[in-house]
Each structure stands twice: as C-alpha cells, then as structure tokens.
Structure 1
Amino acid sequence: MLRTTKVKRTTASAAVALLAAAALTGCGTTAVSGPSPTAEQTSLGDNEGSVSILAWPGYVEDGSNDPSVDWVSGFEAKTGCAVTSKVYGTSDEAVNLMKTGDYDVVAASGDATLRLIAGGDVAPVNTDLIPSYAGIYDFLKNRAWNSVDGRSYGVPHGYGANLLMYNTDVVQPAPTSWSAVFDDASQYAGKVTAYDSPIYIADAALYLMTHKPELGIKDPYALDETQLAAAVGLLKAQRVNVGEYWSDYLKQIQSFTSGDSVVGTSWQVIQNSLAAEGAKTAVVLPEEGTTGWSDTWMIASKAKSPNCAYAWLDWISSPETNGKATAYFGEAPSSEAACNYRDDCEAFHAGDADYASKIHYWTTPVAACLDGRTDVTCTDYTRWTAAWQEIKG
C-alpha cells in the first residue's frame, strides 16, 4: 500500500525479529519455532506436477463454483501443475494453516504477512523469476507488509479500500467523515455495522489521528498502550450502537437490503452488488482517509513444489488472469494491463496513486513501532486480539 507514513525497512526488519522472539516465548498468537534463514530461489527447475494453494474465497477458481469462472484449468494445461486448493475465512486461520506445511502458496493479507515472515513460514521471492512482476503498480511493490530489508516476500494480487457505506434515505446529509460511525453513531443506534476483526482497531486509530491529534498517532498500526487505550475506548463507545459485526460480505449485502444496517464500513464490491439490485446505498472514502487491503501471494519456506509455486505466482499476476481474478472478487487489479480484461477499473480507482495514498493498508501490528519510534514499545497483534475480545464483550 502507499502509506502516508513511510516505514523504514530497518524498522520492519526489527519488527519481524521481535515478532519471532515473541513467538518463541509463547507470547505470539501461536507458538512457532522461529524463522530460519531462507535463501530466495535463484533459478527454476522442472515443474513438479502439482501445487497446493491456500487462499481467500474467490482467488483460486477452477469452474467448479461457476463454469464460466475458471483461471486454474489454463494454468494446469500450460504448466502441468495440478492445483489443489483450500479456502480460509480469516487471516488468523491462514497463519495457523500455513504452519502445517501442507501448502506451497498462500494469498495473505497484510494483517498476516509479517506473522508468516516472522514465523519462518514463507520464503523471500526472487521477482526476477516472475516475468509478470514487472508490470505491477510500483505503489504496491516493496511495501512494509510484503518486504523486509529490501527483500520481497511475495507478489501483490489486488487491493481495495474499506469505505463508508450508508443508506441514502436514512443518512442525510451524505456523510463525509467516519464520525458517522463513531462520534455521531448514536443517531443510527442499532443499525451501525463494523468489520469483525482485531485489525478494525486501526480504523478507530485512523479516526483519532485527525480528531485527537494530541495522542500523536502517526500510523494506525503503530499504537503504544496509551494510543491503543484511546482506540479501544472509542470502539467500546461505538459498540452500544452496533447492530452487527460482519466478516461475510454476502451477509452485509443482506443487512443493508433489509434495512438492519444503515451505515458502516464496507467494500466497493458490496456497493456494486447493492446498486445492481436497486438498493438505496452509496459509499464514500471519508476525509480522514481509510484502511484497506493489499493481498500478497507468498511461497512457503518448505514448499514441496517450489517451481510450480513460482509458475502460479507468474500466472496469477499476468494481466489476463489477474484481471479476471480481481474482478471476480471485487477489488482493483495489480497492474494497468489487467484493466484491458475488465470494464470496471474506474469504479475501483485502479492505478489512481492519489486515491491509493489515502489508504492505510492492513499491516500486522508489532512491538517494534512501525512509525519509527524507538522510545516506546508498541502493542502487537496479540494485544490487539485481546483488546478486540474486550471490546465485543
């Protein structure tokens, strides 16, 4: 993601080291053995004949869900790599599944990537072995959530913003600020909706960056204890007005259709679906900016089929495949060329660097402050998880 607060690569490296140390002492979200140095692959050999992929729903489609949606069969025919895949529902689930050693490739969001790197579960990726990588938008490359010390740990897939959705009949005038779900949420008591994940704490922190500047928050993923307490307090105040926390976007579509929800965090793909149904909803990127995601295709450090894994990363990031896959999921593609295979790139602001600069992409909170501070210890994902449980009660 293109972030308004740049993260030093040396800081990211220290963050990974601290995450690994926490895991070794049992303080991380899961117990791991710690990373061992893994060299990136320098050349490709013969494809092994199969590849096992772990991904979000909709990322690895072979026609079994919809005969017209299939970008796996072409890959298998071209490479001879038979694909087996498993979908997961949360980033925590993905991190735990990768520790089994059963998967060669994972599509990971930014709230999982540093944990996978710290745990030694994924390897650096040699992008010179992936021809399609050259065409990917520069503002998605070598970011804090997909690289450490200048070493890439994967290939960007697509990206999107968490937007403010509202019922145009109920929420008037049209909101321009996240205050609609925070300070002004009582106007819509019981019909506010929020994303169900510890990473949502960053949305509160982002709001406080503008509305409580005295807290000194510079990066919504780098919170010391005082800053975290402020974000938690804001979310506890919001809690009494929340009718539903959501993680399944189909359920949110139903909630806005029925009127059970009238304002809250959402995605462009949800708005597109509601608009197609004639629902009276709209979305806006609020004046404070927003959080969002930029998912990364990563290769397991102990991949049984590394050559097929590299072949998949090149295939899924090629313009035609990436265009199809990101359109199906509902997000911006990773390259301008992918828009040649879509007719909706404008709706997703694909390639708009100014729009992208307003998005603070999900990044794993770690003890080494991602905003560069060295005089305090920041709260890590384990702390955020405990705080989220406290918020929801």
Structure 2
Amino acid sequence: MKRIPPTARRGAATVGLAIASIALLTACGTTAANDGGGEAAEELGEFEGQVSLLAWPGYVEDGTNDPAVDWVTPFEEETGCEVTSKTYGTSDEAFNLMKTGEYDVVAASGDASLRLVAAGDVAPVNTDLIPNYEGIYDFLKMQSWNSVDGEAYGVPHGYGANLLMYNTEVFPEAPTSWDVVFDKASENSGKVTAYDSPIYIADAAVYLMHHQPDLGIENPYALDETQFQAAVDLLKEQRAHIGEYWSDYLKEIQAFETGDTVVGTSWQVIQNVLEGSGAPTAVTLPEEGTTGWSDTWMIASEAKNPNCAYAWLDYIASPEANAQATEYFGEAPSNEAACEFRSEGSCEAFHAGDEEYASQIWYWSTPIAECLDGRTDVECVDYSGWTEAWSEIKG
C-alpha cells in the first residue's frame, strides 16, 4: 500500500534513555543473534558496525530531508551501527525487496507481514532481548499480524484507523454508518471515494459483518469463497458511484477541498491537514468499526547484521525515538510513554493508547488460505485472490 509521507515537522527529542537501554544489549552474551535458521536469538553478541533497513518513507530519518529531524544519528553514535536505508511505496514492493537478502530489518504493514513469515524471509524475535518491548501497548502485542504460533515476529511501531471522512456542508450531522459509501452511495454518486488497494475488500467485509450477519464473517481478512464474493459484489455495486479511488493523500485532500469528493475513507492525518486549511470536513469512526494499520519492525531470517538489527528494534521502540518517528509520519505511537515526548495534543488527535477506540479497528492482515479466524473446514481466499478481484472491481 502506498502510505502517507511524513507531515509533522518536529525537532529531535532527547534520546539518552533509549541509548541506555541499547547499551544493555552488548552485555547479553557473545553468541550472534540470528544464524539464518529462522529461529529467534537466544542471546546477542557484539555489534557488527552496520545495519540495513527497509521502511516506509519517514520511518528512518537522519537529517537529510530535514536537518531538525534526525533520530538515526544518535543511534549510530552510541552503537557504532551505521545505518543504510531504502524506502518503498507499497507493501508488495517491500515483500519483493526482502527477497533480495539485502536488508536486515523491514518495517512491514499487516498486509505484508504474514506473507514475509510464510515465505521464510523474516525470523521470530526474542523480546527478552528488546528491553523497550515492555513499554509497548499490550493491545498491539502478539496479534495475528505480528505473531505466529505464539512467537513474536517483530516490534510494533505505530498504528492508525481508516476513518470515514465527510463534507460537513453535505452532511450537517455526522454519519454513524458506512452505509453512506455502500447502500446509500447513490445519494452522492460520483462524489464518493475509496482507498485504492486490494486490502480495501476488508472494509466491505467489516460492513457486511454487521449488515449481513448470516454470512458468518468473524474476521474481515478471513473470507471463504461465499463471504469473499459477497464483499466483491458490494464493491462492484459501489464502483458505479466512485468518483475516484485514492492512494495519494494529496489527491484526496484536493478532492475534498474542491468538493469533487464529499464522502469516503480517509486518515486522521488527512483531516488534520484539511482542518488546517479551513476545509468543511470532519472524520468519524462509524458504528460498524473499521480497518486500520499497525506496522511492525521485523528482522530478516538471514540478516547479515543481526545484533545491530536487534539494537535498532529496541531503539526505535523507545519512548523518545518512537515519539519522533510516529509524530513525523502522522500516526499513534506504540510505546505507552511516547506521548511524553510528542507535541501537545498530537497523541489525543490520533487516539493514542485508547484501547476502546483501538478495539474497533481491524488491523490490516495478510489474507491467507488458512483462515485467520481459526476455521479448518474451509479454505479462505488468499491475497492473490484479493488482488485479482480488485482488478475486476475497478474494471
């Protein structure tokens, strides 16, 4: 998926406490972390002097894009692990790049993480070797998109919800349901928008969970053929009323500013931009719940620099570094103490730590044939099926 570029511009916070926790890693032992066998490290050894990261834009900032935004340099200075990084624009791109074996660490969204695990490209992690893991919100740990068979496959980074955005002049009262983009989409035909990705099929599934309970959908990423076809049919009906699908956030901002779009899926950070420009828009989390993302830092199964990789996972999970990275990008932090280091009001804007709010979010997960809802009597449609169907939906 194409993700939003960094929006917040905030100077680097103090990172002393984060570095202190990293220093503890060197005392964990002399055995190298991951030996390439796909098993979690038992102990750590000396840092190798470098680490290669693959991440969304805005997750690995070293002052190049903005001299005031740099959480990489302090990490390098304290650990001696020189960071090289590459950014990617979609989860599919990240998945393919990890197959090159050139990267020690990847920041993966839920629509890529299980694919990486299934392909053997990432290894489970020993969270005992990551001191800052303890400070991560419990509701983000050991979830279906970042763990398998009781083993953690990374460290949560940031998270957010896909919200319903609406023009307040067209909707004087906030909509309470996603029906305004599905069953009632004809009322604003041509001015409805939706996120341009196969994973958007899950948004239709969330809606059907509440409005067609006889389908028996328990997880919007675990759809058998009948359930999947119902979601596809709903999106094909919606297609007639879509003015434009979006993946570039700037295009959605422009469409709502001009009035070409009046309702559709969006992100809180987009609303923050529109609110700042005085546009008549607002966002809400409808009664059916919604989809969203929770990104995970994962270590390559054959990482060339596993000890520096573990050091990075611990550092970026620290309150200070996590605060900088997630605010710069525009999302809620994963570390409970990170809000102490973010600008006033930013955590509230993204509902950081609000477990009740977070419980309404179905975080992106990779659809696989083995149903994520636990069913064993049927097969579910995997991501390749979702990709094929999305092409048919858009026409």
Equivalence for 2:352: 350
Indicate the residue corresponding to 1:103 in structure 2: 103
CA–CA distance in 1 between the matches of 2:227 and 2:37? 34
Q: Aligned pairs, how many?
A: 358
Q: Which residue of 1 aligns with 2:184?
A: 184
**Partner AA of 2:370 in structure 1:** A
The equivalences for 1:202-241 within 5 A come to 202-241=202-241
What SS class does the counterpart of residue 89 from structure 2 fall into?
A: coil
- Provide the secondary structure at the position in 2 that maps to 1:162: strand
> Which residue of structure 1 aligns with residue 261 of structure 2?
261
CA distance in 1, matches of 2:336, 2:133: 12
Does 2:152 match 1:152?
Answer: yes
Deviations 1:244-295 (A, max 9, x none): 1111222222221222211111111111111111111100000000000100
Partners in 2 of 1:71 and 1:132 — Cα distance? 16
The one-letter amino acid paired with 1:327 is: E
How far residue 220 of structure 1 moved from its aligned partner, in angstroms, is 0.5
Q: Distance in 2 between matches of 1:354 and 1:383?
A: 32
Please tell me whether residue 391 in structure 1 is matched to residue 393 in structure 2: yes
Partner of 2:32: none
Distance 1:279 1:63 in 2: 32
Question: Retained in 1: the 8 A contact 2:166–2:262?
Answer: yes
The counterpart of 2:379, out of the listed 368, 377, 388, is 377
C-alpha separation in 2, matches of 1:45 and 1:149: 27
**Distance (Å, rounded) in 2 between the aligned partners of 1:347 and 1:220:** 26
In the alignment, what sits opposite 2:310? 310
Task: Please show how residues 285-300 of structure 1 align to structure 2 within 5 Å.
Answer: 285-300=285-300
Deviations along 1:22-55, whole A, 9 cap, x unmatched? Answer: xxxxxxxxxxxxxx95121111112111111111
Structure 2, unaligned stretches of length 5 or more? 1-35
Deviates more, 1:140-149 or 1:242-251: 242-251
Matched-pair contact (CA < 8 Å) for 2:256–2:262: yes
Could you tell me how far apart the structure 2 residues matched to 1:257 and 1:87 are?
A: 29
| Whole-angstrom distance in 1 between the partners of 2:62 and 2:306 | 21
Q: How far is the alpha carbon of 1:371 from its aligned partner?
A: 1.2
Q: In structure 1, what is the equivalent of residue 370 of structure 2?
A: 368
Question: What corresponds to 2:126 in structure 1?
Answer: 126
Moved more, 378-387 or 169-178: 169-178
Identity %: 74
| 1:132 maps to amino acid | N
After superposition, the Cα gap between the structure-2 partners of 1:186 and 1:172, relative to the gap in structure 1 and judged at 3 Å, is: farther
Structure 1's consecutive aligned runs of 4 or more residues displaced over 6 angstroms after TM superposition are none
Q: Deviations over 1:279-336 (max 9, x none)?
A: 1110000000000010000000111111111111111110011011111111110022
CA distance in 2, matches of 1:168, 1:72: 41
| TM-score normalized with structure 1 length | 0.89
AA aligned to 1:392 is K
Q: Do the aligned partners of 2:58 and 2:329 also contact (CA within 8 Å) in 1?
A: yes
Gaps of 5+ in 1: 1-35
Q: Which amino acid aligns with 2:184?
A: D
Cα offset for 1:77? 1.1
Indicate the residue corresponding to 2:92 in structure 1.
92
Equivalents in 2 of 1:367, 1:176: separation in Å?
33
Cα deviation 1:330-388 (Å, max 9, x = unaligned): 11100220000112111111111111110011111111111121221111111111111
